[in-house]
Amino acid sequence: MDQWYLDYGEDSWRAIAYDYVENKDGTGLNTWSPDTQHAFKGVVDWLRQWACARTYGLGSKLPWDPYFLVESLSDSTIYMAYYTIAHWLHRDLFGREQGKGKVAAEQMIDEVWDYIFCRTQLTDDIVTKSGIPRETLEGMRREFEYFYPLDLRVSGKDLIPNHLTFFLYNHIALFPREYWPKSVRANGHLQLNGEKMSKSTGNFMTLDEVVRKYGADAARVALADAGDGIADSNFVEDVADNTILRL
């Protein structure tokens, strides 16, 4: 079938992303770990064209080809910017209750987003066309400029080869450098007694179950003993048991 691609391999874009991840001058991306930085550099090295369109599931419709949706790993790359103004737009999670700006969804036209996030000039035409008071628009932009850039993004190491790298690329493409993410901290997965957690095999335990079974203190010690960094951690129940006896 037909497909649309994001060209992450475009030379100038890729070079900027690589330099930012490499962070030679200390003003680039803080990855907290050489392993995480190495993983990011490896992805930027091989990533070229990424197939970004699908015909079903969650995602935004492609404006020029609405038959397709942008798949979720590519679609949700700068949503952190939305958090800075979300309370202006809605009070509840689903957007049913208007926020403090008393703004309806249809009023958030492209020119409004450009003003808030892309620092275009606020004109009388934008105010008239959107129906949003000038003071409200200026307030939303002030909040974005106050809270951005995000200081820290924490996520699993399995998202470095796709979503987290897209997140960097798209911030670089859309925002001036002062709004690029400051750091990304990646973590591994958590094993239980040396094996992958799986509900189907019964090797599974929630944090709530751990605390109920061993108490908060023993749970903390066993988690601290489980491991650090990007490697998979291993929660061992014997450690929790022995900690209780030691305590």
Render pLDDT for 197-215 as a digit per residue (tens, 0 to 9): 988 889 999 999 999 999 9
Phi-psi bin for 99: left (phi > 0), alpha (psi -120 to 50), beta?
beta
Residue 158 has pLDDT above 80, yes or no: yes
pLDDT in tens, 211-231: 999 999 999 999 999 987 788
The pTM (predicted TM-score) of the whole model is 0.85
Output the CA–CA distances (angstroms, integers) from residue 164 to 36, 53, 79, 106, 176, in the order listed: 11, 18, 12, 30, 19
Domain boundaries, the chain: 5-79+149-187, 85-147, 190-246
Lookup: tokens for 206: 């929630």
